[in-house]
Amino acid sequence: MWERGDLVEIRNDCAIQYFAGKTGIILSNIGKHLGDSEELGHYYRVLFHDGSDHIFNDNELTLLSKA
């Protein structure tokens, strides 16, 4: 799991193409995504340079640097 302050990049294949390639900082771990019988990842709130934030699944993020 990633922690508050980690620097991430939004992957090019993310669900909302507007965010593809942008960098941001992890604000918080929102929780797990649970499927029928398996864990499908964690959700993170990511802060961008303009002050906006958005929630992403960890499979949409690439870790660039630990806090």
Tell me the per-residue pLDDT of 26-60, one tens digit each, with 9 for 90 and over. 999 998 876 655 567 889 999 999 999 999 999 99
pTM of the model: 0.86
Range of the domain at 52: 7-65
pLDDT of residue 13: 93
From CA 13, how far away is CA 26, in angstroms rounded? Answer: 19
CATH, residue 31 = 2.30.30
Question: Do the beta carbons of residue 64 and residue 23 sit within 8 Å?
Answer: yes
Total structural domains within the chain: 1
Has residue 2 been placed in a domain? no
Has residue 1 been placed in a domain? no
Tally the C-alpha atoms within 13 A of residue 20's C-alpha that lie toward its C-beta. Answer: 7
Between 34 and 66, where is the model more confident? 66
pLDDT of residue 64: 97
pLDDT of residue 37: 56
Has residue 25 been placed in a domain? yes
Has residue 43 been placed in a domain? yes
pLDDT of residue 57: 92
